[in-house]
Chain A
């Protein structure tokens, strides 16, 4: 367990980090049964201070430190507020160091020298921090506020702060502290810290400050331009709305085209690889290899001319023979077409011995089927059924004994 007070303090902060983080992010922390002990411990170490009843806030020094570390932006932050006061301490500390040295109080002189060195470091740190903060504000264009008026007010405020820092730096340079330290008895040691921490860095700080002030002022100038620009844009939008047929003039109609109208037409740039350049041939080859294969389409031209014998077996021709009833029907219709009187299908078949194998009822059925199909080729013929009297009048049967076919003129 360390007895160093700094280590002990940092350990307390680390132990109660959750409460500290809550107080920082929320602005305050409420006391509950769970965190009462932590709050008590932090309060004892001046990390938390009472805010309202059972509510605590971070101590301002700790909150400021976290702001600096996390670069948190605060509205109207007192940037560089203490630079003047810190610089004002230095002459007193130099005087006291000199007096102690002349009076032989060496321990006191050493203590004053330590304080001087710490004050010089504080001052340098404060100036660096202030410049960094201003730089951040200048670069983000006061992004933490939204309205134009707020931006303008903040900008003017920070220009004022930058001018105060500039004054403090000028005074520091003008006071000639660096030279006097080397001449004053017992103060030679102070000159080292003063030179390394302040004097050598002053030109760089002043340049940085000038740069920041320049950005802030130019931004302020632009802010002042923005409002009229918005007004003009709104007025023009209204003009367009009220004049729906309005068309802007052609450039040719404008006697003296303004600078913006001279904007050049884009050039269509296209580069092709130089295939003869050996420097790029490897890269091109890699590229070519990476390309997907193109589909090769073989177009076959139809050949005109004779078929040539390629040695294959001759095609087999299978003639389709008509069925007997089809042959019989064809002949029967041929006979009807040439006859002047109707021809009985049964009588005609009986006369044709060639078709004896064709049963009579099947033949009659084929003729009736042909007749029922109402084909175009039968347009020249008419058919008439020869029906037998049914056994019973109401049986519904139709008994066909024969079909008479005749030619239609």
Chain B
């Protein structure tokens, strides 16, 4: 299991109970984790985990110019997809009337989601906007737009297709990483949480 786990980590994957359950179990055992950490340490890397421990990933152990370049590239990717990913998760929460965050292991049922979006014009428009953000061409139907988005999120590592027959997706541990990015940017940009209610009231008036 060591080989598979280290290969996954070095190839940039987030190892969580949803995406790679065996590797995740392997890393949860302290002695295995120490072994992996020692190996990564020799490559100038370290094992990191998301805030609530739902996913493991690899960080640079030091910050030399080369590593800085690597970090910049990684962050550029996050920046690039930030609007789409944040928008998607908020969209799903709205459509499914969920007040809580889609934590790792949360289930997204495509059929229920599309039915909920279909009956709400505002959600339909929102889906269209998201599809444009993702530059995902579709044949114009809601279903195809949603399918493209789900595919994109799968490629980005935020979702896995848990049940292909019923088209049920599961949220991976990478979503906790997203939450950390969002929390940091909110502090950095001094974004107020109350802004949501003000906006909604503004729209009503």
A residues contacting B by CB (< 8 A) are 141, 146-148, 222-223, 225-227, 229-240, 242, 246-252, 254, 257-269
Contact A264 B195 (CB under 8 A): no
Neighbouring B residues of A269 by C-beta, 8 Å:
7, 10-11
Neighbouring A residues of B192 by C-beta, 8 Å:
235
| In the complex, residue of chain A having the shortest beta-carbon distance to the beta carbon of B63 | A262
| In the complex, residue of chain B having the shortest beta-carbon distance to the beta carbon of A246 | B189
In the bound complex, how far is the Cα of B179 from the Cα of A238, in angstroms? 15
Contact A259 B59 (CB under 8 A): yes
Contact B199 A148 (CB under 8 A): no
In the bound complex, how far is the Cα of B74 from the Cα of A262, in angstroms? 9
Neighbouring A residues of B59 by C-beta, 8 Å:
259, 262-264
Rounded to whole Å, the gap between the CB of A145 and the closest CB of chain B is 12
Q: Tell me, yes or no, whether B169 is within 8 Å of chain A by CB.
A: no
* CB-contact partner of A263 in B71, B179, B194, under 8 A: B71
In the bound complex, how far is the Cα of B192 from the Cα of A235, in angstroms? 7
In the bound complex, how far is the Cα of B86 from the Cα of A242, in angstroms? 14
Rounded to whole Å, the gap between the CB of B196 and the closest CB of chain A is 5
Rounded to whole Å, the gap between the CB of A266 and the closest CB of chain B is 3
| In the complex, residue of chain A having the shortest beta-carbon distance to the beta carbon of B45 | A264
Contact A251 B83 (CB under 8 A): no
* Size of the chain B interface, CB-CB below 8 angstroms: 56
Contact B183 A232 (CB under 8 A): yes
Rounded to whole Å, the gap between the CB of B28 and the closest CB of chain A is 13
Neighbouring B residues of A262 by C-beta, 8 Å:
48, 59-60, 63, 71
| In the complex, residue of chain B having the shortest beta-carbon distance to the beta carbon of A230 | B101
| In the complex, residue of chain B having the shortest beta-carbon distance to the beta carbon of A253 | B188
B residues contacting A by CB (< 8 A) are 7, 10-12, 43, 45, 48, 50, 52, 57-60, 63, 67-68, 70-76, 78-79, 82-83, 86-87, 89-90, 93, 98-101, 103, 105, 177, 179-186, 188-189, 191-196, 199
Contact B68 A251 (CB under 8 A): yes
Nearest 10 CB-CB pairings of A with B: A266-B12, A265-B70, A230-B101, A148-B100, A237-B90, A229-B101, A262-B59, A248-B79, A260-B180, A235-B193
| In the complex, residue of chain A having the shortest beta-carbon distance to the beta carbon of B75 | A251
Contact A227 B99 (CB under 8 A): yes
Given contacts A222-B52, A230-B101, whether A235 and B45 have CB atoms under 8 Å apart is no
Neighbouring A residues of B83 by C-beta, 8 Å:
240
| In the complex, residue of chain A having the shortest beta-carbon distance to the beta carbon of B69 | A265
* CB-contact partner of B99 in A147, A259, A266, under 8 A: A147
Given contacts A263-B48, A264-B59, whether A226 and B12 have CB atoms under 8 Å apart is no
Contact B72 A250 (CB under 8 A): yes
Contact A233 B75 (CB under 8 A): no
Rounded to whole Å, the gap between the CB of B64 and the closest CB of chain A is 12
In the bound complex, how far is the Cα of B99 from the Cα of A250, in angstroms? 32
* CB-contact partner of B191 in A147, A236, A258, under 8 A: A236
In the bound complex, how far is the Cα of B183 from the Cα of A141, in angstroms? 25
Neighbouring A residues of B103 by C-beta, 8 Å:
222, 226, 229
